[in-house]
Amino acid sequence: MGLKKYLLMELTHYQAKQQKKNQVLGGYEMEVVKRSELKGFKVVPKRWVVERTFAWNETNRRNAKSYERLSNTAETVTEISAIRLMLKQFDT
């Protein structure tokens, strides 16, 4: 048996074991995403939109690190920075 086939069997066994464990502990459903058979790189468009949004938010100094003690304050600062970005795009 080749190494790839052995690793695939082990991975499948581990995923099944984890799925049983999750069902017993929390009642949550776990979906295991398999790799596609396609070769090469493929861009996932929605992911890039999210990553770009996080990068834009990180340009604001208060969003670069977690300075706030309360989650409400952090949420408000994030909303203010999003408003700032929208106004900046509206202006141009």
Residues 25 and 53 in one domain: no
7: left (phi over 0), alpha (psi -120 to 50) or beta: alpha
- Percentage of the chain lying above the pLDDT 70 cut: 52
47 and 91 assigned to the same domain: yes
Helix, coil or strand: residue 76 = helix
* Residue 4 dihedral angles phi and psi, to the nearest 5°: -60, -45
Q: Which domain holds residue 47?
A: 43-92
Q: Are residues 1 and 27 in the same domain?
A: yes
Longest Cα pair distance anywhere in the chain, in angstroms? 63
Q: How many domains does the chain have?
A: 2
CA 67, CA 75: separation in Å to the nearest integer? Answer: 12
Higher per-residue pLDDT: 92 or 9? 92
Let me know whether 25 and 64 are in one domain: no
Global pTM?
0.41
Q: pLDDT by residue (tens digit) across 52-89? A: 777 777 777 777 777 778 888 888 888 888 888 888 88
Average pLDDT taken over every residue of the chain: 69
